[in-house]
Every structure is written in structure tokens, then in C-alpha cells.
């Protein structure tokens, strides 16, 4: 990138960025990466973002896509912040997990669902991917996400699990506590 572009996007303050953008030639502006325009919006450097967009009209450049994408991301983050103001969102009520149980002479299998009833809609923790051009749930990333969020404790007499997740725009804390009739081997147990 030309030195003038680096100066504009690498500024430490918004005032410095605005000053660098104002002296940027139209040729140099055409080399400004979209990611840097998005960065100005994500930093909430509104004057600098307006300066770039205004100057882009002279250069016959279209920064619509990066500006809209960044504004949408900032709005989402602001909406989440507003949700945290509600104490019920910050400290969600406990919702029991639906569960199914099966056992044989050597093993106990428990399946739990992040929903109050097995057939009811529950938490959507799927991680979406557009790999290979198609939108789909990535099973590996979804499993990693759940594993990082889910707390499971298996002792000789109890199985406990807890996860806090969004379900239909409401944050819920799903819990499971299963008291066992007889002892199990926690060191031989897996989830």
C-alpha cells in the first residue's frame, strides 16, 4: 500500500485519520482495502468513515458493501449490550433439561437436550459455515462450541450438567441433576 494509505488507516486517533484521509489522492484512495473502511466503522470513527465515503464519490468508488457490513456488525453488538441491561438476561432462570436414559448391565447412557421437553424447541448452538459455497451447520465446530460452554460433573452418585444459551431470543440456563440409584465409576465415565 502507498505510504499515504498506510498513514490514513494506521492512525492512532480519529483526528489523525481524518487529516490523512483529507490529503489522500484519489489514486491512493482507490487502493484502500475494504477491510480498512470496515475498521473505521468498527472503531466508531464516524468522522473518518464519512470522510472516506465522501471522498469515494469523487474517486467513483463504491464502499457500500464494507460500510453496510460493518454497521450491521456494530448494531448487533450494541443490541447485545442492551440485552445485558436486563437482569433476567444477565442472570437467566433455570430451565431443566429434557433427558432420556438407557442402561444395560455394564453401562448407563444419558442423552440430554437443551430444552424443557424432548420434542420442544431448544437452544440453537449450531455453528454455521459457508465452506465450499454452501451454508450448513459445521458439526465439528458446533461440538467444540458446546464442549466449551457445557459444564458436566460426574460423581459416584450424581450426574450434573449446566449450559447457558440463547433459545428463541431469550437467554436460558439449562440444568440437569440426576441422582443415581447406585454408584458409577466417574473415572470410567465420558461425555
The per-residue pLDDT for range 130-168, each reduced to its tens digit, is 877 778 888 999 999 999 999 999 999 999 999 999 887
Measured CA to CA, the distance from residue 74 to residue 46 in angstroms comes to 12
pLDDT digits (tens, 9 = 90+) for 64-77: 999 999 999 999 99
Given a cut of 90, is residue 106 above it in pLDDT? no
Given a cut of 80, is residue 59 above it in pLDDT? yes
Indicate the pTM of the whole model: 0.66
Given a cut of 90, is residue 23 above it in pLDDT? no
Given a cut of 70, is residue 7 above it in pLDDT? no
Mean pLDDT value across the chain: 89
- CB neighbours of 98 closer than 8 A, spacing ≥ 6? 112, 113, 115, 116, 117, 118, 120, 122
Given a cut of 90, is residue 85 above it in pLDDT? yes
- Residues 5-18, mean pLDDT to the nearest whole number: 78
User: Are 168 and 159 within 8 A, CB to CB?
Assistant: no
Q: What's the pLDDT score for residue 168?
A: 79
Is residue 5 very low, low, confident or very high in pLDDT (cuts 50, 70, 90)?
Answer: low
Is residue 47 very low, low, confident or very high in pLDDT (cuts 50, 70, 90)?
Answer: very high
Measured CA to CA, the distance from residue 97 to residue 102 in angstroms comes to 16
Sign of CA dihedral 118, 120, 123, 125: positive
- Rg of the chain, C-alpha, whole Å: 25
103 dihedral zone (left: phi>0; alpha: psi -120 to 50; beta): beta
Q: Which of 7-11, 22-26, 88-92 is the least confident region? A: 7-11
Query: How many Å separate Cα 92 from the centre of its chain?
Result: 19
168 dihedral zone (left: phi>0; alpha: psi -120 to 50; beta): left
Q: Where are the alpha helices (DSSP H) in 14-162?
A: 14-22, 26-29, 34-42, 46-58, 64-84, 87-90, 139-149
Q: What's the pLDDT score for residue 160?
A: 95
Amino acid at each position: 500500500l502507498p505510504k499515504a494509505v498506510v498513514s490514513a488507516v494506521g492512525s492512532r486517533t480519529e483526528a489523525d485519520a481524518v487529516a490523512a484521509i483529507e490529503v489522500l489522492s484519489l489514486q491512493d484512495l482507490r487502493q484502500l482495502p475494504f477491510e480498512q473502511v470496515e475498521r473505521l466503522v468498527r472503531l466508531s470513527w464516524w468522522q473518518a468513515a464519512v470522510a472516506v465515503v465522501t471522498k469515494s464519490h469523487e474517486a467513483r468508488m463504491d464502499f457500500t458493501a464494507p460500510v453496510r457490513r460493518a454497521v450491521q456488525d456494530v448494531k448487533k453488538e450494541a443490541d447485545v449490550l442492551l440485552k445485558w441491561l436486563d437482569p433476567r438476561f444477565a442472570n437467566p432462570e433455570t430451565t431443566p433439561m429434557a433427558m432420556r436414559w438407557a442402561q444395560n448391565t455394564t453401562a448407563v447412557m444419558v442423552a440430554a437436550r437443551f430444552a424443557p421437553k424432548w420434542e420442544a424447541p431448544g437452544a440453537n448452538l449450531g455453528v454455521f459455515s459457508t465452506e465450499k459455497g454452501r451454508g450448513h451447520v459445521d458439526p465439528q465446530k458446533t461440538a467444540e462450541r458446546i464442549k466449551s460452554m457445557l459444564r458436566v460433573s460426574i460423581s459416584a452418585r450424581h450426574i450434573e450438567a449446566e449450559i447457558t444459551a440463547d433459545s428463541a431470543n431469550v437467554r436460558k440456563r439449562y440444568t440437569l441433576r440426576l441422582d443415581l440409584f447406585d454408584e458409577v465409576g466417574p473415572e470410567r465415565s465420558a461425555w
